[in-house]
Amino acid sequence: MSTLEIKGLTVSVQTEDGPKEILRGVDLTVNSGETHAIMGPNGSGKSTLAYSIAGHPKYTVTGGTVTLDGEDVLAMSVDERARAGLFLAMQYPVEVPGVTVSNFLRTAKTAIDGEAPKLRTWVKDVKQAMNNLRMDPAFAERNVNEGFSGGEKKRHEILQLQLLKPKMAILDETDSGLDIDALRIVSEGVNQAKDETDLGVLLITHYTRILRYIQPDFVHVFVDGRIVEEGGKELADRLEEEGYDRFLTQASA
């Protein structure tokens, strides 16, 4: 049982006109096995929250705390956070020329586990996971994210989620840009990881569509750098009907 606890988190980015505050006090607790959906309009700071938890150097934490099972996440380097059990499926996965998917996966797995995986079971696990995500085996020999379609990039992120077996996963708009078939496959992949490892999930999305496939236990509405309303799945249904307008007027008022 793990707990990711975010308290009073404020984050700014450096702009030409000096620092700009983007997160304005985020409080959120995610336990193992729970799925929290974070929904909000574009530009509200959802990716900023995801990147800040993962430790992206562009974002400066100006206040608050993030802990994983009581350990200070903010004091850790990016790779330490990953080894502590945090995983971020990125909205825009990065190309790494000349590094094959298979080499990348093995290197990451070795780093996370602290030892190289047993070759035979590893090859089998990779094949199985790729098969579940309907990924062509030839994919393993392509360079990381190079020339991948939008859907391939997202499947590749979920492939990593399945193989690296983190405690907490943040999925940043994993659903955007996917057609309905791909969305179903990717969602199955997430659900399977949840079943197998009691994963805690922070599911960031702009749309309610993915929530038909991945059941959220909690829904948080994110506007202007903070959570403005929280509820259960029914809140997502309301957002589906009403959109974010109600919250936007609140935020600007």
User: Where along the sequence are the contacts to ligand ADP (CB under 6 A)?
Assistant: 13, 15, 20, 22, 40, 42-48
Amino acid at 33: G
- Distance of closest approach, residue 251 Cβ to Mg ion, in angstroms: 17
Q: Closest Cα to residue 215, out of 230, 197, 237?
A: 237
* Residues between 71 and 130 that touch Mg ion (CB under 5 A): 91
Is 184 exposed, middle or buried (CB count within 10 Å of its CB: 0-12, 13-18, 19+)? middle
- Region of 104-112, 171-179, 182-190, 235-243 interacting with other proteins (CB under 8 A): 104-112
Nearest approach in angstroms of CB 45 to Mg ion is: 8
Pairing of strands 3-15, 18-31: antiparallel
The answer to whether residue 44 forms part of the interface with Mg ion (CB under 5 A) is no
Q: Please, what is the minimum distance in Å from the beta carbon of residue 88 to other proteins?
A: 6
- Minimum CB separation of residue 91 from ligand ADP in Å reads 7
Chain Cα centroid distance, residue 179? 19
User: Can you read off the two tokens belonging to residue 13?
Assistant: 């980015």
Residue 104 touching other proteins (CB under 8 A): yes
Residue 33 vs 41, nearer CB to ligand ADP = 41
Nearer to other proteins, 72 or 240 (CB): 72
The interface partner of residue 83, options being ligand ADP, Mg ion, other proteins, none and the CB cut-off 5 to 8 Å by kind, is other proteins
Residue 252, Cβ neighbours under 10 Å: how many?
8
The answer to whether the CB of 73 falls within 8 A of the CB of 53 is yes
